[in-house]
Structure 1
Amino acid sequence: MPSDPEEQAAQRATAERDRLNKLSERLEIFKKQLVFRLCYAYLSRQLRQDGVPDRQVTQRLGGFRRRVHSAAVDYRQLRYITGPQLEPELAAQLRQDLDVLEAKLATPIPPNDLVWLLEAGAEGDPPKHLLEQQYQILLAQRFRADLVSSDTQQFAAEVASIATLGFYQESLFVVWPLLDSSTQLSLQAWFRRYRQGLHDGGVREELPWNDDSPQDRPRAVHDGAADHDDDDVDTVPEPASGSGDRPSIRR
């Protein structure tokens, strides 16, 4: 361990920058997953409105997924692949929803919020399976207000699921920009209640029942190159056995 206080401070600053860089990289991967799932949902809706048989719907959606995977498509291009396959009204709704989500995810996290996010995940904080439920509830509230999509509950469930495939702080980092100040405060209040031992506290709302057929659920989108498989959100490793749901937090 370095004895020079200045050297220690420099090492802490470097470690903090490295951690923020990794979180930013995870956010980029999360963006692609989120945009893909929304485009997938709109395409599925269009095919069913057109009366396409279930078997062909599955084949068409599978082809869409493979195209995105094989071409290593940048998530910003997905709207231009999906839009021409939709009726004008649905295409306009997709553009509007994507604009809203991309604007939210491009908004920098305020420094005070970032401090709170980086300190979360310590001993006594909620486990990830409960955190996913809270994400689902709060995201559903925001998506109902922010998006024109008719299937916001299912979309919220999918977004919460892919967010919590990452490590604890990663999941908070990617979900936080999608919430507004009210739902952010609700999440922080839920954390406080849990830390005080009130484990039944939380947002009082029933979780949406997922009755979609399995073929309508999008699979993971990979980033293309074989040597980048571990960059996909759906393949993020969980903490090693014995570490619980949360990685250790560097203070």
Structure 2
Amino acid sequence: MSNPNRQDRERWIRGEESPDMDDFGRSADRGRKELSADVEAAELMKELDLAFAAKFGDLDKKEGSSTSSVGGATAGAEKDPKSHEGATVRRLSRLYAIAAAILLLIAAGSWWLTHQPATDYEALYAEAFTPYANELDSRTMGGEDSPASLDEKLAAASLAYDRRDYAAAATAFADYLASAPAAAPASARLYYGISLLGANKAGEAIPVFDELANNNASYRDTARWYQALALLRSQQPDAARQILTDISSSPSSPFAQRANTLLKAMQ
């Protein structure tokens, strides 16, 4: 003889609705809709079984032994009208079902939350990141009045940046800035930070952008945008979100729309 309880469990795992639905069934089916696949439902059911077994013992065995007791109690009911064993077992079964329905809904909700893929901030960064246009040329590199060695260093850094060789660009910009003249272009520091960011050195890039944003009004918005990306790449979403919110709320910022788009993607 088939086990109705097992049939109901298998039906629930498959996501099939029963034509004979009580309150428990409706609650359980609402919980089942939170799960996308049969394998998730089966694993959740297994976790619930283990949780109840740990709390109450093996209820399947208890119910099996109780069934015969119920039969005996029913047969002897006329002889012993005070016997409530059968009713007690049925009451226990019903309470178990109600508790299971509540736990199922709670577990299904937490299951959905805990089994959602974590936000991939690296992927969000990669989608949002584009290098800032290279504005360095023979004039910003100093021309004839600057030492040739400095021009060569900046030219090498600029070339590596254009080639998207960010590791080499970061090294070259650092070398240039270490001995740069007072009139060195501020953009060199911006490209240095972007090169660090592109070379997966977001932690080193953050203070570079922060200093530039605080000390150079011309590159403030740009530095703040790349600072937010650096924070995102270094797994600091809350700090990144704060800067992005400031940028998106500033209509004059050329990065306002991009910041707003990234904020939505982070939700």
**Normalization by structure 1: what TM-score?**
0.31
What is the TM-score with the length of structure 2 in the denominator?
Answer: 0.29
* Greater per-residue helix proportion: 2
